[in-house]
Amino acid sequence: MRHCTLIPSMARARSPEKRNAILDAAVQEIATAGLGAPTAKIAGRAGVAEGTLFTYFASKDELLNQLYVELKSEVYTRMNAEFPDKASLQRRAWHIWSTYLGWAVAFPKKRKVSVQLHLSDVVSAETRAQIAGQRGATDATIAELGERLALRGLPEGFAAAAMSAMQEATMDFITKQPRRREELIEKAFAVFWRLFR
Amino acid sequence: MRHCTLIPSMARARSPEKRNAILDAAVQEIATAGLGAPTAKIAGRAGVAEGTLFTYFASKDELLNQLYVELKSEVYTRMNAEFPDKASLQRRAWHIWSTYLGWAVAFPKKRKVSVQLHLSDVVSAETRAQIAGQRGATDATIAELGERLALRGLPEGFAAAAMSAMQEATMDFITKQPRRREELIEKAFAVFWRLFR
Amino acid sequence: MRHCTLIPSMARARSPEKRNAILDAAVQEIATAGLGAPTAKIAGRAGVAEGTLFTYFASKDELLNQLYVELKSEVYTRMNAEFPDKASLQRRAWHIWSTYLGWAVAFPKKRKVSVQLHLSDVVSAETRAQIAGQRGATDATIAELGERLALRGLPEGFAAAAMSAMQEATMDFITKQPRRREELIEKAFAVFWRLFR
Amino acid sequence: MRHCTLIPSMARARSPEKRNAILDAAVQEIATAGLGAPTAKIAGRAGVAEGTLFTYFASKDELLNQLYVELKSEVYTRMNAEFPDKASLQRRAWHIWSTYLGWAVAFPKKRKVSVQLHLSDVVSAETRAQIAGQRGATDATIAELGERLALRGLPEGFAAAAMSAMQEATMDFITKQPRRREELIEKAFAVFWRLFR
DNA sequence: GATGAATGAGGTTTCATTCAT
DNA sequence: TATGAATGAAACCTCATTCAT
């Protein structure tokens, strides 16, 4: 009979599975209970001990910031995949518009949490900067849209803000009428696009 | 002949000043600390004892609901005052647009708190219904805007949501460049109006 | 038109009606909410202001003590009325037994409150002494019962305690089967009386 | 071959000692201050932090219910140990009588708290049912006593209530004359027994 | 690294009592 | 005398974080 402790501590890297389990659990809990969701519950749902959560994230704030980064990355990854770089501005704008709304429809809880984090001030300026750096291919398109509005005297970034705001408004209606989802995404884009014609 | 005995020997009337002081303090505290702002701090800033807050509001939830009603009333009161009923749709839309942004610029903390309350679920359905009933003169205009988008297949209420969304986007830029406030309000409206042309 | 204040303040004695209203209200509230029933609720039910309660009773403890005295007086008054001084010991014991249970059946809330006060330690030793002095005609009978048990080596007062305890036990069953009320009172007495035969 | 990995690396087991310390402290505090005794004081006397109490008991009510179960179990355990199943009814009744009073004399505070809990309505019906299921050997004897009184037209359970009532009356005198304890227990039983002869 | 018991500051709310009116 | 707003000390309970195991 061998002593188990004789097996050298394998120095496993902190398992990414557990990290993801915690982030997923956080989404679920926060979607239902808000940002005040207790870390104990998050850990519980993730199937790890209360204390374990703090070996993966130094504090709740840290967890929240990383969660925000994760959610935004997920969106930008989707967006940058198969980005139609060469297409017309309208087609590229449509890609951004529909990809985001597609994600939001597919993962309503993630979107809900993302919005909450966006508005809260637990998300630090550093985190927000870090995310801005991940926009990748979308950046050029957003910038082009911005230029069109700049011609009308609006500041840089206004186009991005307007798009984001209109997307959220659209999502609210999709939540109420999920069946009309595809139709609403298209029609709302048609209206949105008028801003730039 | 007046009845004297009918006037009960009153202790002290519950003063509207104190009520307002509490609501004001709540705005300040919540703007800085979020909806989790402690009632003790709110009371403290209002210059009343911890317990006094609860003679004016049965619970923190109640306070939050009434605060939301108060903030929305303030906006609608402004909006309905001198509402240009007979003017063109565009001019009426402009009235709503500029009145709201004017208020938001004048009281950025109130606006911040109002948005937070709007998104939170401490604000009950009853409260929301009560507010809807105060929209008054703006309602017809919003409905007219809605009809225009309805022609393009979007649901009722989408116009209102879009306006609100664009206003918030605009506000975010005004916060960053307060000097250009008037200009931004006008130019953003010009862009916004394209949705309906 | 005369000034009402010109009528000299009549220095009305503190109205016994109000005092009684407060005591009655206290019974109702305490029966439902226990001794922790708030003075504000008691005052409310009595139809007087919160502060008024404290012009009739210096403190909540004071109110509770006086309430206990009042309830006990009520019982002793009933008991001493038409007390069959000349009857046999058994008949006199029966008078005490049935009068108390009759009262308890008629005013279950008063009985409930009385028991709660009896067990609590808000009722001071002085109050308890004061009540003891009101037993009047029953005293001799209780003492006689006590003597019978004294012959069997039990301390003075044991009979009274036993009677009281058995009465409460009986009441608990009457509460469960109110229809059998009269029967239970009689049969329980028959059993109780065996202690003294 | 034993599996080592199956034994989870435990933090610290919830110690029965601490649980008992809290229950003991509760007895002390409640005996002095009543059921309103603050949880903070109970925790303090138990030598644990305020919050710790709530890792052992979900709420104050829960603590109170478990305390009642504990106290009653203690009594029934004593009673069922060496219960003279084969003895005469009188001897068995005496066993119950003297065991309870022996416990009450040995732990007057526990008895006081037990009585308070019995009368209060923080003790749920479930808890009462759970306790009823622990009566074990005493049950048959109590039932036999009940039958005797049933012959005289009294409801089932009356005997138990009467015994309990007389025991409490007896305890009150023992508290005043602790020296005569053994004698009082015996003599009071002799009188009590007359109810069944 | 993983665990979960332990901590105690801090949150909301209640309530006996006071006192200006 | 009557009133009820005002008070602030507790009360119960939650929860992020620590640390012995």
Tens of pLDDT along C85-105? 999 999 999 999 999 999 999
Mean pLDDT across chain D: 93
Q: pLDDT class for B17, splitting at 50, 70, 90?
A: very high
Q: pLDDT class for A2, splitting at 50, 70, 90?
A: very low
Q: What sections of chain A are H helices per DSSP? A: 16-33, 39-46, 53-56, 60-80, 89-106, 108-119, 125-132, 137-150, 158-176, 181-193
What is the arithmetic mean of pLDDT over A136-162?
Answer: 94
pLDDT value of position A47:
97
Q: What is the CATH number of the domain that holds D71?
A: 1.10.357.10
Percentage of chain A with pLDDT > 70?
93
What is the arithmetic mean of pLDDT over B166-195?
Answer: 96
Q: Residue A9 domain-assigned? A: no
Q: Residue D5 domain-assigned? A: no
pLDDT value of position B99:
98
Contacts of B58 (CB under 8 A, 6+ apart): none
Q: pLDDT class for D136, splitting at 50, 70, 90?
A: confident
- On the question of pLDDT at B6 being above 70, the answer is no
Mean pLDDT across chain C: 92
Q: Is there a single domain that holds both residue A120 and residue A165?
A: yes
Name the residue with higher pLDDT: B122 or D7: B122
Q: Say which DSSP state C15 is in.
A: P
Q: Is there a single domain that holds both residue C47 and residue C76?
A: no
CB distance from B5 to chain C under 8 Å? yes
Q: How many CB pairs under 8 A join C and D?
A: 84
Q: Is there a single domain that holds both residue D117 and residue D31?
A: no
**Nearest Cα residue in chain B from A160:** B169
- Considering all CA atoms of chain B, what is the largest pairwise distance in Å, rounded to the nearest integer? 69
Question: Nearest 5°: phi and psi at C43?
Answer: -60, -45
pLDDT digits (tens, 9 = 90+) for C43-58: 999 999 999 999 999 9
- On the question of pLDDT at B64 being above 50, the answer is yes
CA-to-CA dists, residue A31 to A103, A119, B150, D21, angstroms: 16, 14, 32, 40
> In this structure, are residues B39 and B53 in contact, taking their beta carbons and an 8 Å threshold?
yes
Of C6, C33, C58, which residue constitutes the final position of a domain?
C58
What is the arithmetic mean of pLDDT over C158-178?
Answer: 96
pLDDT value of position B58:
97
Q: Residue B2 domain-assigned? A: no
Q: Is there a single domain that holds both residue B69 and residue B143?
A: yes
> In this structure, are residues D169 and C158 in contact, taking their beta carbons and an 8 Å threshold?
yes
pLDDT digits (tens, 9 = 90+) for B119-160: 999 999 999 999 999 888 899 999 999 999 999 999 999 999
Q: Is there a single domain that holds both residue D50 and residue D114?
A: no
Question: Nearest 5°: phi and psi at D91?
Answer: -65, -40
Contacts of C196 (CB under 8 A, 6+ apart): C89, C90, C93, C145, C148, C149, C159
> SS3 breakdown of chain C: % helix, strand, coil, rounded to 5?
75, 0, 25
Q: What is the CATH number of the domain that holds B20?
A: 1.10.10.60
Interface C:B, ≥3 CB–CB pairs < 8 Å: yes
Of A58, A88, A110, which residue constitutes the final position of a domain?
A58
Q: Residue D128 domain-assigned? A: yes
Q: Is there a single domain that holds both residue D48 and residue D64?
A: no
Contacts with A49 from chain D: Cβ below 8 Å: 11
pLDDT value of position D9:
59
Q: Residue D53 domain-assigned? A: yes
Q: How many structural domains does chain C have?
A: 2
- On the question of pLDDT at D154 being above 60, the answer is yes
Q: Is there a single domain that holds both residue B98 and residue B137?
A: yes
Nearest to C169 among D119, D165, D194 (CB): D165
Query: Which DSSP string do the residues of D34-98 spell out, in sequence order?
Result: -TT--HHHHHHHHTS-HHHHHHHSSSHHHHHHHHHHHHHHHHHHHHHTT--TTS-HHHHHHHHHH
Say if the Cβ atoms of A1 and D5 lie within 8 Å.
Answer: no
Say if the Cβ atoms of A194 and B197 lie within 8 Å.
Answer: yes
Task: Give dist(CA B75, CA B98) in Å, integer.
Answer: 11
Tokens of B74: 């303030």
Mean pLDDT across chain B: 93
Nearest to C1 among B1, B5, B11 (CB): B1
Q: pLDDT class for C12, splitting at 50, 70, 90?
A: very low
Q: Is the CB of D54 under 7 A from strand F?
A: yes
CA-to-CA dists, residue D126 to A29, D63, D123, D130, angstroms: 32, 14, 8, 6
Contacts with A5 from chain D: Cβ below 8 Å: 4
Chain B: closest CA distance from residue C47 (Å): 14
pLDDT value of position D1:
37
**Nearest Cα residue in chain A from D10:** A49
Query: Which DSSP string do the residues of A87-102 spell out, in sequence order?
Result: S-HHHHHHHHHHHHHH
What is the arithmetic mean of pLDDT over B76-97?
Answer: 96
Range of the domain at A69: 60-196
What is the arithmetic mean of pLDDT over D166-173?
Answer: 96
Contacts of B62 (CB under 8 A, 6+ apart): none
For B131, the 3-state DSSP assignment is helix
Q: Is there a single domain that holds both residue A152 and residue A162?
A: yes
Contacts with B168 from chain A: Cβ below 8 Å: 165
Q: Is there a single domain that holds both residue A72 and residue A166?
A: yes
pLDDT value of position A9:
38
What is the arithmetic mean of pLDDT over D109-124?
Answer: 95
Contacts with A50 from chain D: Cβ below 8 Å: none
pLDDT value of position C6:
37
Q: Residue A1 domain-assigned? A: no
Q: Is there a single domain that holds both residue D115 and residue D127?
A: yes
**Nearest Cα residue in chain C from B8:** C49
For residue C158, the tally of other CB atoms under 10 A from its CB is 25
Q: Residue A99 domain-assigned? A: yes
pLDDT value of position B13:
79
Q: pLDDT class for D8, splitting at 50, 70, 90?
A: low
> In this structure, are residues C158 and C148 in contact, taking their beta carbons and an 8 Å threshold?
no
Task: Give dist(CA A160, CA A164) in Å, integer.
Answer: 6
What is the arithmetic mean of pLDDT over B42-54?
Answer: 98
Q: Is there a single domain that holds both residue D90 and residue D118?
A: yes
Q: Residue D140 domain-assigned? A: yes
Q: Is there a single domain that holds both residue A64 and residue A54?
A: no
- On the question of pLDDT at C7 being above 60, the answer is no
Report yes or no on whether pTM surpasses 0.85. yes
Task: Give dist(CA C67, CA C71) in Å, integer.
Answer: 6
pLDDT value of position B192:
97
CB distance from C1 to chain B under 8 Å? yes
pLDDT digits (tens, 9 = 90+) for B157-176: 999 999 999 999 999 999 99
pLDDT value of position B8:
55
Q: What end-to-end distance do the CA atoms of chain C give, in Å?
A: 78
Task: Give dist(CA B89, CA B85) in Å, integer.
Answer: 9
